[in-house]
Amino acid sequence: MSFFEISGNHAAALALAAKLRGIPAYIVIPKNAPTCKVENVKRYGGQVIWSEANMRSREEVANKVWQETGAIFIHPYNDGRILSGQGTISLEFLEQAPQIDTLVVPISGGGLISGVALAAKSINPAIRILAAEPKGADDAAQSKAAGRIITLPETNTIADGLRAFLGDFTWPVVRDLVEDIITVEDSEIIKAMKLCFEILKIVVEPSGAIGLAAVLS
């Protein structure tokens, strides 16, 4: 049995999981993906299949791979299994610090924040879930304001992991359980990355630093 999906960090995790089980993983990656993420996929044994940088091309290539290989498609965010896995983050947070009253979570396709919100609010319905999003890819903020899924013709942000759009599986959770979406400029994300490195001595990619950028804003 084999798997394929269309993302970056998640792709590396999936490739490793497939390698541990001794099965192939076909990974569809856009041509503008960071080299380090592509190398991670290859390092874990994933078979990289290129697509153009837009979502339509990624989906078309993924469908072609599915037809040719019969692989099981694992979407990087619009999938209940992914939400379940992401929800374990809330479980760990609230086990260690049950007094937490607010969580600030990066948002892109919505898999991470949906899983976090569902799990956190099942434990503490009063907890606030805030999303952090780059202004150059603010489709989630626009969707929240419009009350429906909004997609953008293009995105422009240093946070390459936050360029996806909400799916029909994640949108209802974001719509109903996320209190607000904080948008930040790339300059604020870079400032947060520098702070993490200089003060905490931790190297954080832009998509991971956006939560701190939102708090600092």
Q: pLDDT by residue (tens digit) across 165-182?
A: 999 999 999 999 999 999
Average pLDDT over residues 4-12: 71
pLDDT band at residue 10 using 50, 70 and 90 as cut-offs:
confident
Q: What is the CATH number of domain 80-216?
A: 3.40.50.1100
Same fold, 3-73 and 80-216: yes
Contact 130, 102 (CB under 8 A): yes
What helix, strand, coil percent values describe the chain, rounded to 5?
55, 15, 30
Is the per-residue pLDDT at 37 higher than 90?
A: no
Q: State residue 6's pLDDT score.
A: 53
Q: In what order do the strands lie in the sheet with 3-5?
A: 47-51, 25-30, 3-5, 72-73
Residues 6+ apart with CB under 8 A from 169: 78, 79, 80, 83, 114
β 72-73/3-5 pair status: parallel
CA 49, chain centre distance (Å)? 20
Domain ranges of the chain: 3-73, 80-216
Average pLDDT over residues 192-216: 96
Please report which residue ranges of 124-198 form alpha helices under DSSP H.
Answer: 139-146, 171-177, 186-195
Q: Which pLDDT tens digit goes with each residue over 44-63? A: 999 999 988 777 888 899 88
Q: Which pLDDT tens digit goes with each residue over 67-110? A: 999 898 888 899 999 999 999 999 999 999 999 999 999 999 99
Q: State residue 107's pLDDT score.
A: 97
pTM above 0.85, yes or no: yes
Return d(Cα 146, Cα 132) in angstroms, integer. Answer: 18
| Residue 95 vs residues 19, 29, 41, 124: alpha-carbon distances, Å | 31, 36, 32, 12
Q: Which pLDDT tens digit goes with each residue over 111-168? A: 999 999 999 999 999 999 999 999 999 999 999 999 999 999 989 999 988 999 999 9
Tokens of 48: 């990289």
Q: State residue 1's pLDDT score.
A: 44
Q: What DSSP designation does 26 have?
A: E
Q: Going by CATH, does the domain composed of 3-73 fall within 3.40.50.1100? A: yes
Tokens of 94: 């609230």
- Range list of β-strands (E), the chain: 3-5, 25-30, 47-51, 72-73, 102-106, 128-134, 180-184
Q: State residue 57's pLDDT score.
A: 87
For the purposes of burial, counting CB atoms within 10 Å of the CB of 71, is it exposed (0-12), middle (13-18) or buried (19 or more)? buried
Is the per-residue pLDDT at 5 higher than 70?
A: no
Q: What DSSP designation does 200 have?
A: I
